[in-house]
Amino acid sequence: MEKEMTKDLTRGVPWKVIAKFSLPVIGGNLFQLFYTLADTIIVGRTLGAQALAAVGATATIVYFVLCFIQGLTGGFGILLGQAFGAKNERQMKESVSASYWISGLFTVFSTILCCSLVNGILRALNTPEDIYDRAYIYLFIIFAGNGATVFYNLISNILRALGDSRTPLYFLIFSSLLNVVLDIVFIVPFGWDVAGAAWATVLSQLISAVLCILYANKKFAVLHLTAREWRLQRGPVLRHLKVGFPMGFQMSVMCIGQLAMQAAVNRIGTSAIAGYTAAGKVDQLAVLVDNAVGIGIANYVAQNFGAGKMERIRKGVWHCFLMLTLLNFAMGALLLAGQSQVVPLFVTDPTAEIMAYSRDYLYVIVPFYLFLGALMVYRTAIQSVGNTWAPFAACIIELAARVLCAGVMSVSFGYKAICFATPFAWMTALCLLIPVYISLCRGLLNPGKG
């Protein structure tokens, strides 16, 4: 095992260790946001508001699939991190093998299923007829590239489990810049419309995934498996399915609520979709930063749990919560101060109606970022010690809260109720997660009493 390449998170001051690990992940997530923004800006400013709405109308279902993939591969990373913390090389190799097998089979299944359901998905989301054809083309191409998404996220989570959060950043920067170049080439001179944006996203991520896998195999001995180690083994596969699939379902269940919100917005019309899409893109700044710190705490907790350092877990989680609170306050202030510039970033000469929908979204959701940070920290910490039922139950609560606001309360209170669905979901989920985390801490620190 290459000690200079891996990072032991079981030593050092907790907040410094987590911050140092999380910074490259934050950078990577910001570049991920950069290239999704580039998609949206180039589409909106070169093809117009209808094309922007077509891409925006598919955003939630694309995020739904991405969430499952991130949850699935993130679960694999937790098991690898626990093995790394315990310094068990045999289990590490078993984890890598099982992860690749499951990811390959899942890629085949998910690509066939998703591509066959595009028409039904868009109809269920109440996609307006004036943008339907463009939305169909964009979504089909994105789904056809599921394999690139699966394996990029898998290798990134494997590297992070080994303590290397820098390599995924470097390849994501490369992918982001390539995506922007391909966006411009495919949309402007090639004239491929929204299909160009979709192909740019798929190809840039595919190339990045291949290069990242080649680099990781060269640098990490634990990824060098013999023919015997590559064999499909029932025990490791079942362990990974037991952790990965609940996490994938958990994250995708969260997105079902967002699908209900998208469907409610789609019923309002194209202007609402455009404003909602623009505001949602910049709102992703906070979500991606919180997710990045969540990845940091996940790997920190997994390694320390494997090493049996329970008090260190408790300190690290508290430090992480304080860091995210400060970050979310700063990001919220930035977004509210610059909210009038959000829509013009995406659409040339936007209407007052589109501007109003974007402004209302940010004014409703930004003041509740504190709860987003708390949700990310406590849910991830609970997952990383092997508890999957509580985070999944919390996601069911989130789903119910989102559907209640988007599908029921919006009838009386309109668009603002749809926007409030997200912070309402955060708060209700925390009502379960915080007591569970306190109980787990007591049990882990005092196993004879827990």
Q: Which of 234-238, 284-288, 321-325 has the lowest mean pLDDT?
A: 284-288
Average pLDDT, the chain: 84
Q: How far apart are alpha carbons 431 and 450 in whole angstroms? A: 21
Contact call for residues 80 and 95 (beta carbons, < 8 A): yes
User: Which tens digit of pLDDT belongs to each residue from 69-127?
Assistant: 988 998 898 888 888 878 888 888 999 999 999 999 999 999 999 999 999 988 887 88
H-only helix segments in 89-128: 89-116, 118-124
Q: What token pair was written down for 326?
A: 């400060």
Farthest-apart Cα atoms in the chain, separation: 69
Look at residue 254 in the predicted model and tell me its pLDDT: 66
Q: Please name which of 225, 65, 81, 80 lies closest in space to residue 148, comparing C-alpha atoms.
A: 65
- Region 8-19: mean pLDDT is 79
Q: Which of 19-28, 59-68, 74-83, 298-307 has the lowest mean pLDDT?
A: 19-28
User: Which tens digit of pLDDT belongs to each residue from 369-381?
Assistant: 999 999 989 998 9
pLDDT class of 5 with cuts at 50, 70, 90: very low
User: Which tens digit of pLDDT belongs to each residue from 139-188?
Assistant: 999 999 999 989 988 998 888 888 887 888 788 888 888 888 898 899 88
User: Which tens digit of pLDDT belongs to each residue from 162-176?
Assistant: 888 788 878 888 888
Contact call for residues 254 and 399 (beta carbons, < 8 A): yes
pLDDT class of 310 with cuts at 50, 70, 90: confident
User: Which tens digit of pLDDT belongs to each residue from 393-444?
Assistant: 888 898 888 888 877 777 677 888 888 988 999 999 999 999 999 888 876 6
User: Which tens digit of pLDDT belongs to each residue from 257-268?
Assistant: 777 787 888 888
Q: What token pair was written down for 260?
A: 């209900």
Q: How far apart are alpha carbons 119 and 187 in whole angstroms? A: 24
Helix (H, G, I), strand (E, B) or coil at 190: coil
Look at residue 4 in the predicted model and tell me its pLDDT: 41
CA 425 to chain centre: 17
pLDDT class of 2 with cuts at 50, 70, 90: very low
Look at residue 450 in the predicted model and tell me its pLDDT: 39
Q: Please name which of 81, 49, 220 lies closest in space to residue 161, comparing C-alpha atoms.
A: 81
pLDDT at residue 1 above 70? Answer: no
pLDDT at residue 297 above 60? Answer: yes
- Region 30-54: mean pLDDT is 75
Q: How far apart are alpha carbons 115 and 380 in whole angstroms? A: 31
pLDDT at residue 20 above 50? Answer: yes
Higher pLDDT, 428 or 12: 428
pLDDT class of 3 with cuts at 50, 70, 90: very low
Q: How far apart are alpha carbons 313 and 305 in whole angstroms? A: 7
Task: Compute φ and ψ for 445, nearest 5 degrees.
Answer: -80, -25
pLDDT class of 273 with cuts at 50, 70, 90: confident
